[in-house]
Every structure is written in structure tokens, then in C-alpha cells.
Amino acid sequence: MSVPLPETSTLGESSAGSTGAGETATADGAPRPGVQVGDRIFAGVVRLFGLIVLAVPALMLVALVFASAASIRRTGFSFLTSSRWDPVHEHFGAWPFIYGTVVSSLLALCLAVPVSVGLAIFLSDLAPHRVRRPLGFVVELLAAIPSVVYGFWGIFVLVPVLRETVEPFLIAHLGFLPLFRGEPLGFGMLASGIILAIMIVPTITSISREVLGAVPDTHREAALGLGATPWDVIRVAVLPAARSGIVGAIILGLNRALGETMAVTMVIGNRPKVSASLLDPAYSMASVIANEFAEADSDTYLSALSEVALLLLGVALVMNLLARWLVHATKQRMARGA
């Protein structure tokens, strides 16, 4: 005797009888709209978080524009070109701070880029596997050191070495150049550039290593198959493919150097004067804000410092956006090539 089997619905029938995409049904077949509402709430909250991230820089920019409006109306374009910073007579010119920031940051790049790119190449292509992880950890550890510790080390270790050994040597042998004229004070643009170089090495190294690691192995294998040496592989196959990303890493390092405050304030000398010599004390935009904001006793003084902050924020935002675009473009190109 055959036993009749219970009727079962096919997959198509089940799909046709479902409550719709994104909804589930209860035991009696009724839809549960609460699940869909929860999804919408979650999506809205996450979207709100994204908008907050975009809104914070915009609000900072607007606030600085309003805070510096009085200085902008009073000084105009001369704020960028004047070298006189006289809070007593309310005459403000930011050129010494712009000059000190740009020169110390470029000096830091000149010192840090060869070390950073070379270290990234070593970690990605040449170092033994047992060395890559410990050495990479040490490099990343440099980024975790607070800037005030760098400044403290600069005052008690770097500055005495520069004053007693390095700067007298530079003056004696290269004193005919404007870059190395003056007195061996220790504090100055050179000390600031060295501190910044040490601080931006982890940034440039980590991003450059990531970009070099994203280069497809087929590039390396093709170069080796053609008889290239390890150096030729890096020079011909790896570096050209990662050029834009490395440039982006350098710009991010420059962005870090432009905005550094405490370590630079402790070793740059804090003198608002433009000098061609790297041995002379100078000032930076971040340092003048940190040093003089507490003693600003007039609205015009506060507005001038706000304009310095506005200028620094604008430069940092532009450089950061450019660097991110370069790194993203490099990764996309490598992914298409792979």
C-alpha cells in the first residue's frame, strides 16, 4: 500500500509567496516590517556618521574664516608678504612663519625621503622574511612616540650635538654658502628639520611599503625572466609602477611635517625672522599659534592667529586630498594590471 506524501511547495512557489525582498515572515506567514525598519535605521545612522566626518573639516574651515575676518579685512594680501609681527602695534605679517614652516618641512623631506623609500624597498623586496616583521614593527613604533618626547630628546640630545659638533663643522667647511652661515646655536631650522625627518619616516615608509607590496608579482617575475638583477627589477619593474603611490606617501609625510607643533616649537628657536641660513632660529605657523594664543589680549591679535590657523588648515587639506588621490589611483592601476 502506498502512503500519500504531503504536498511540498517548489522553490518558485515559495519565492512567489514570499513577503518581498528585505522582509521575513512570521510563523503564520505575516510579514515582519520591523526588520526592514531596523535596516533603514541602521543605514541612516551609518550615513549620519559619514556626513559628520565630512562636516567637521567644513565647520572648522567656516569657523576659522569667521574668526579671521577682521584680520583679513585689515591686512589683506599683505598678511602673506609682510615680515613684521608686532602685536603691540597690531601689525601682523605671517611671512616669517610661512617661510619657517615650508623650509623646515622641505628640509625634513630631503632627509627623510631617501631613508624612507630605501627602507620600504628593503622591507618589501630585499629583507629576509624573519627580519621584515620585527623591523616593520620598530618603524611603526616610531610613529607612536609622542611629539613632546621628540622635542625633549631634541633639546637635551640633538641640540647639544649640533651646537658642539655638527654646526661648527658646517660653518668651517661650508660657511661660504648662505645656508651654513651664522653662529652655532643648536636651536634653529636645522634642528627642526632633523626632528621632523625622524617623525615622518614611519609615515612615508609604511605607505610606500604598502604600495610596493601591491605591485603584482608578475612584474617582478617578468623582469627576472629577462635576466634582470634584483636592483634592475626594483628600478625597472617595481618603482615605475609604484611611483604615484610613493609620491602620495611623500605628500602625506609633508602634511605631517607642516602641522607638527610641539616638537618644532621646542627646537626651532621661535624667532620671527626670515634668514637664508639653516643654523638661525626661525618660527613656524603651528608654533606661533601654540606660543602666542594664550597671551593674545586683543581681538585683532586673535584674528591674526586665526588667519594663520586658516592658512595652515588650507594647506594641510589640499595636500592630504592630493596624497589620498595619488595613492588610490596607484592601487587601482595595479589592480587592473593584476
Checking if the pLDDT of 67 tops 60, the result is yes
How large is the average pLDDT for residues 310-315? 84
Distance in angstroms between the alpha carbons of the first and the last residue of the chain: 64
Q: pTM score, two decimals?
A: 0.79
- Residue range of the domain that includes 115: 69-337
Residue 91 falls within a domain, yes or no? yes
With beta carbons less than 8 A apart as the criterion, state whether 102 and 188 touch: no
Domain count across the chain: 1
User: Which has more confidence, 330 or 338?
Assistant: 330
Determine the angle formed by the axes of helices 299-337 and 33-67, rounding to 10 degrees: 130
In the chain, helix, strand, coil percent, each to 5? 70, 0, 25
In this prediction, residues 21-37 reach a mean pLDDT of: 55
2 domain-assigned: no
Q: How far is CA 263 from CA 25, 179, 194, 312, in A?
A: 62, 22, 11, 17
Residue at 41 is within a domain: no
CATH number, residue 139: 1.10.3720.10
State the amino acid at position 273 in one-letter form: K
For residue range 187-214, list pLDDT tens digits in order. Answer: 999 999 999 999 999 989 988 888 888 8
Q: What's the pLDDT tens digit per position in 117-149? A: 999 999 888 888 888 888 888 888 888 888 899
> Across all residues in the chain, what is the average pLDDT?
83
In a domain, 208, yes or no: yes
Residue 16 lies in a domain: no
Structural domain contains residue 38: no
User: Per the domain annotation, does 53 fall within a domain?
Assistant: no
Helix (H, G, I), strand (E, B) or coil at 282: strand
Q: What is the distance, to the nearest Å, from the Cα of residue 102 to the centroid of all Cα atoms in its chain?
A: 15
Instruction: Let me know if residue 327 belongs to a domain.
Output: yes
